Structure 1
Amino acid sequence: MNFERKGDWLLLKIPTQWENKNIEEIFASYLCASRKQIHLFKMEKKVQLNNQNVPWTTTVHKGDSLKIKLFHSQPNTITPTYMDLSILYEDDFLLIVNKPDSMDTHPNDQVDTTSLLNGVAFYLLANGEERQLKHIHRLDRDTTGCILFAKHELVANMLDHMLRERDIKRTYIAVVHGLLSKKKGSIDKPIGKDRHHSNRRRIAENGQHAVTHYQLLKKYPNKNLSLLSCTLDTGRTHQIRVHLSSIKHPLAGDTLYGGTPIFTRQALHAVNIQFKHPFTEETLSIYAPPMDQPEIFPHEDWNHLLRG
């Protein structure tokens, strides 16, 4: 996508595939804007074609300039809280953060100010950005690694669409009990709530469809542990934890699903996130180094190990 930022405005050059579409069609089909967002853009006159306010039914042509007021200050309801964050990637549209353990991705209620979302809100404010910040996915409180945030609602809608279409690939690393006999495999088992334990999930015939793919990276015979990489076709609560437990290889440290407490948390880390940037169209592949002290995962060149 051919674009540039000028102050509060995003300038898009109309590409060939948008030829003869009207502005509303572009926002709905290509920019994934909701009806509410389109209504607000219209009412607040935040969109221009060739520097003019025109009806949204106006047809565009290749080379036209579509201006969107996207980068102005936008108050939100997130309470900013200072945190020492590990920012893995950032641009005008989004950022990726390496989440530590013992932290929720987003607030659990209106008075919660200790989540990663609160910390990112502070980080942006400290850099002069007041944004309608949104997390695109989440991690369990004691799972670490890559979390993707959108800085604007429009960008959030585009990323949400990509996530639903499985165009955002997330790779996890896990340390499990036992020595796996297979080098790779897939677990296709539905997951539902555990009626006897409100915080647990279980394999359930009437549960939600769930598929996890895993690959053996290393074995540690002296400790009876294995290092795996995992990718998901679905994103169910506790999916990797439940699936690996179901094949008798629970995560080390995951006492909720049969692991023993050899670590202070479950040994699960979102090591990589990969997707095509919705505006630059560059393929981003961002790695998050594990930050545990004491260490849970070995020092590795994760790019090399996962590709190998």
Structure 2
Amino acid sequence: MFTKKLGEWFEISIPSSWDGITIEDALKVKWEMPKQMLHQLRMEKGAKLNGEILPWNTSLKVNDKFQIHLFMEDEYGVQPEYNPNLQILFEDDHLLIANKPSGMDTHPNEDNQLGTLANGIAYHFQAHGLFTKVRHIHRLDRDTTGAIIFAKHKLASAILDRRLENREIKRTYVALAHGIFRQKKGMIDASIGRDRHHPTRRRISPKGQKAITKYKVIQTFPAKKMSLVELELLTGRTHQIRVHLSHIGHPLLGDTLYGGKPTVPRQALHAAKIKLLHPLTNEEIICEAPFLDEPPIFESAFF
């Protein structure tokens, strides 16, 4: 699918798979645009076909130029702050995937907070002449490293939010856990709720939110009594991997909140890979996030 940005407008050349559908079908069915956005686009005459404003029941033809008003200027929502170590793994007009280091919040948790990944993204946008809200699609704990997706406009945000909820975005983590697993792979299905006795801690609770984690042991280190594990989130609860691995008796190295020993300076958890379909073109995107720790945490396990 050929696409391009024309100022505040997004243009696509209609592919053969869209031949014969209407303008309304393209917006409602192909992109599943939320009702509020559809209404706003209709009221503002924000959809054109070959440069003309036409009724939404007009059929599209192969190679037609379909334009929608997509790239409106907006406040960043956070204060831009230069981050010399910002590592961007993927970026186009619609989304950005960044590699978060440890000791950094994904976004501000209080007014005027600086030092977060979102502050650095805002500065990056500003430096490239882009004025749009910084929209994170998911988060990582302060001391968890790895890949995080940001949307650059409302439609990409709505599509990615829905795909995340429908488990259509695959997030793969790696972790160093205490002990040697009896089973080389498995699934942890245990609901997670707040711990009434601790403000930030979570716990397994039958009345909590449903939480499912798949795991696979990549390598074991018997002398060090630890395992390198690959994990996939099927739900996205706060501290999910940390709580689940602690629950089955294998807390993360460095995760003292959930029973891990402080053998490394942080919980040994890294969002290593993200696989998704592009929100507008449906092309497959695969991003791998390199380790950022200095001195290394994960690489040192192999020596």
TM-score after normalising by structure 1: 0.90
Identity percentage over the alignment?
A: 47
Q: 2:160 is paired with a residue of what secondary structure?
A: helix
CA distance in 1, matches of 2:73, 2:161: 22
In structure 2, C-alpha distance between the alignment counterparts of 1:18 and 1:280, rounded to whole Å = 12
Q: What CA distance in whole angstroms lies between the structure 2 residues aligned with 1:113 and 1:261?
A: 28
Q: Report the equivalent of 1:130.
A: 131
Pairwise CA distance, 1:133 = 2.6
User: 1:25-174 residue pairs with structure 2 within 5 A?
Assistant: 25-71=25-71, 73-84=73-84, 85-174=86-175
Contact 2:91 / 2:97 at 8 angstroms: preserved in 1? yes
Q: State whether residues 78 and 112 of structure 2, in contact with CA within 8 Å, keep that contact through their aligned partners in structure 1.
A: no
Does the 8 Å contact 2:215/2:231 carry over to 1? yes
Deviation at 1:10, TM superposition (A): 1.6
Match of 2:226 in 1: 225
| Separation of aligned partners in 2, 1:80 and 1:153 | 20
Where in structure 1 are there 5+ consecutive unaligned residues?
A: 301-308
Note the alpha carbon deviations across 1:224-251, whole angstroms, 9 max, x for none: 1111010011111111001100111000
Tell me the equivalent position of 1:185: 186
Give the length in aligned residue pairs.
300
1:11 equivalent to 2:6? Answer no
Higher alpha-carbon deviation: 59-68 or 208-217: 59-68
AA in 1 matched with 2:94: F
In 2, the alpha carbon distance for the partners of 1:287 and 1:193 equals: 32
Moved more, 157-166 or 30-39: 30-39
Q: Please state how far the C-alpha of 1:70 moved relative to its aligned partner.
A: 2.6
Aligned equivalent of 1:202 = 203
- SS of the residue aligned with 1:278? coil
Secondary structure of the corresponding residue to residue 222 of structure 1: helix
- Whether the aligned pair in 1 keeps the contact of 2:104 and 2:117 (CA below 8 Å) is yes
Q: Distance in 2 between matches of 1:275 and 1:191?
A: 26
Contact 2:14–2:66 (Cα < 8 Å) also in 1: yes
Alpha-carbon contact 1:32-1:154 (below 8 Å) kept: no
Give a deviation string over 1:207-238, Cα, whole Å, max 9, x none.
21111111111112222111101001111111
Amino acid at match of 1:161: R
SS of 2:193's equivalent?
strand
SS in 2 for 1:139: coil
Q: Distance in 2 between matches of 1:299 and 1:124?
A: 35
Residue 293 of structure 2 aligns to a residue whose secondary structure is coil
How far apart in 2 are the matches of 1:162 and 1:246? 28
Task: Give the TM-score normalised by the residue count of structure 2.
Answer: 0.92
SS at match of 1:291: coil
- Cα drift, residue 14 of structure 1: 3.2
Report the secondary structure of 2:250's partner residue: coil
Q: Is the 8 A contact 1:173 1:269 kept in 2?
A: yes
Conserved in 1, the CA contact under 8 Å of 2:47 and 2:67?
yes
Q: How many angstroms does 1:163 deviate by?
A: 1.1
In structure 2, C-alpha distance between the alignment counterparts of 1:231 and 1:180, rounded to whole Å: 17
**What amino acid is the match of 1:67?**
Q
Superposed, 1:217-256 pairs within 5 Å as: 217-256=218-257
Offset of 1:63 from its aligned partner? Answer: 4.0
Contact 1:133 1:153 (8 Å CA) reproduced: no
Q: Distance in 2 between matches of 1:23 and 1:164?
A: 26
C-alpha deviations, 1:94-127, integer Å up to 9, x for none? 1110001111111112322322111101011111
